[in-house]
């Protein structure tokens, strides 16, 4: 359902509804207002790998501007509210709109690079810890978090599919982290002990407020 509100198309998705399916032509990009979504692929044996998580404030997905279609399906993890950003209107004026999207694409790119490092070289425990800390960090930006506590609407199967683990093993790691103190996820509530903001790893995603840094002149000025 689409509603026009002062030049802003608002749209809702219900839990487990697809925002896009593989190959769908996309003439809009979504900006998430409320709720979580993810991009995933399913391999032949039926297992799933989640390859991106979309939180409030995120664009979904910037690269649709370039590709004109969704390569992979996006599904809502919770009920969602999004605004639609039409791509047609953006071509003519290569200004702030395009710049924002390309900057967001760069962020997403760097986040993927970090996940390759995580999946390739970190233990299950470190992956889980870093993932939860990253979620907490990203949620801060949109104010969905108090100092040491936030809500994670993912099931353990969802997290396992992000982290390249089985749900059973993820569960064991979560228990382990609880006993180790510091990080505990009970139900949907994530609690961080103190001193959990320390640098745990992202090499590229960098500072919370990363933006485009042109070599000389701003691109597309």
Residues near DNA, by CB under 7 A: 123-125, 155-157, 164-169, 171-175, 186-188
- Lay out the sheet containing 28-34: strands in order across: 2-5, 8-13, 80-86, 28-34, 59-60
Contacted by 191, from a second copy, DNA, none: CB < 5 to 8 Å by type: none
For a second copy, the closer CB: 52 or 150:
52
Residue given tokens 């093993």 in the structure block? 169
Based on CB atoms, which residue is closest to a second copy, 145 or 205? 205
**Sheet strand arrangement including 37-42:** 18-20, 74-76, 37-42, 48-54
* Alpha carbons 73 and 24: distance in angstroms, whole number: 9
Q: Which is nearer to DNA, 15 or 27 (CB)?
A: 15
When CB distances are held under 5 to 8 angstroms depending on the partner's kind, the choice from a second copy, DNA, none that residue 106 binds is: a second copy
Question: Which residues in the 127-186 window bind a second copy by CB under 8 A?
Answer: 161, 163-164
For strands 48-54 and 2-5, give the pairing. Answer: unpaired
Min CB(34)–a second copy separation in Å: 25
Which of 14, 211 has the CB closer to a second copy?
A: 211
Residues sharing a CB contact under 8 Å with residue 214, sequence separation 6 or more, in sequence order = none
Q: Minimal distance in Å, beta carbon 168 to a second copy?
A: 15
């Amino acid at each position: 359902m689409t509603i026009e509100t002062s030049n802003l198309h608002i749209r809702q998705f219900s839990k487990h509804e697809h925002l896009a399916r593989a190959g769908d032509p996309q003439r809009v990009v979504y900006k998430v207002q409320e709720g979580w979504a993810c991009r995933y692929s399913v391999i032949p044996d039926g297992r799933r790998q989640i390859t991106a998580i979309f939180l409030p404030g995120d664009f979904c997905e910037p690269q649709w501007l370039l590709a004109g279609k969704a390569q992979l399906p996006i599904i809502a993890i919770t009920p969602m509210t999004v605004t639609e950003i039409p791509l047609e209107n953006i071509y003519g004026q290569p200004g702030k709109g395009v710049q924002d999207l390309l900057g967001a694409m760069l962020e997403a790119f760097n986040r993927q690079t970090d996940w390759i490092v995580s999946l390739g070289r970190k233990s299950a425990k470190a992956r889980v810890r870093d993932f939860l800390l990253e979620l907490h960090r990203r949620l801060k930006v949109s104010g969905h978090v108090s100092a040491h506590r936030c809500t994670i609407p993912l099931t353990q199967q969802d997290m396992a599919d992000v982290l390249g683990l089985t749900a059973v093993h993820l569960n064991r790691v979560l228990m382990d982290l609880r006993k180790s103190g510091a990080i505990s996820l009970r139900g949907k509530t994530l609690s961080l002990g103190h001193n959990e903001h320390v640098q745990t790893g992202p090499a590229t995603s960098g500072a919370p407020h990363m933006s485009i840094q042109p070599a000389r002149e701003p691109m597309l000025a």
